[in-house]
């Protein structure tokens, strides 16, 4: 009693096409990994740039606060 099975036929051509597809994906991954080698250095540069910008931002807000305080003091002196 031979049972009839409905299977999928896989040929060598199908396997070869999948291998080519896999190879293309591997090439993309390797190129992405190569671009990530210098990631720590790039992140360090970004962090340093943000730290410099934060210092400038603090200075600007301090100057703005001082200017506003001076303006209010001058107005108060005029009103009194």
Query: What is the mean predicted confidence (pLDDT) over 11-38?
Result: 88
pTM: 0.40
Q: Is the pLDDT of residue 2 over 60?
A: no
Distance CA 45, CA 51 (A): 10
Are 45 and 75 members of one domain?
yes
Tell me what percent of the residues of the chain surpass a pLDDT of 70.
Answer: 94
Residues 59 and 75 occupy one common structural domain: yes
Query: Where in the sequence is the domain holding 59, given as residue range(s)?
Result: 39-80
- pLDDT above 70 for 15: yes
User: pLDDT tens-digit profile of 47-61?
Assistant: 888 888 888 888 999
Integer Cα distance of 35 and 38 in angstroms: 7
Q: Same structural domain for residues 43 and 80?
A: yes
- Spell out the SS3 assignment of the chain: CCCCCCCCCCCHHHHHHHHHHHHHHHHHHHHHHHHHCCHHHHHHHHHHHHHHHHHHHHHHHHHHHHHHHHHHHHHHHHHC
Domain tally for the chain?
Answer: 2
Looking at residue 57, what is its pLDDT? 86
């Amino acid at each position: 009693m031979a049972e009839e099975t409905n299977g999928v036929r896989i040929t060598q051509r199908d396997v070869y096409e999948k291998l080519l597809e896999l190879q293309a994906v591997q090439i993309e991954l390797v190129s992405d990994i190569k671009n990530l080698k210098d990631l720590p250095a790039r992140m360090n540069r970004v962090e340093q740039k943000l730290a410099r910008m934060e210092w400038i931002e603090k200075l600007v807000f301090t100057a703005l606060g001082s200017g506003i305080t001076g303006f209010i003091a001058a107005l108060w002196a005029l009103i009194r």
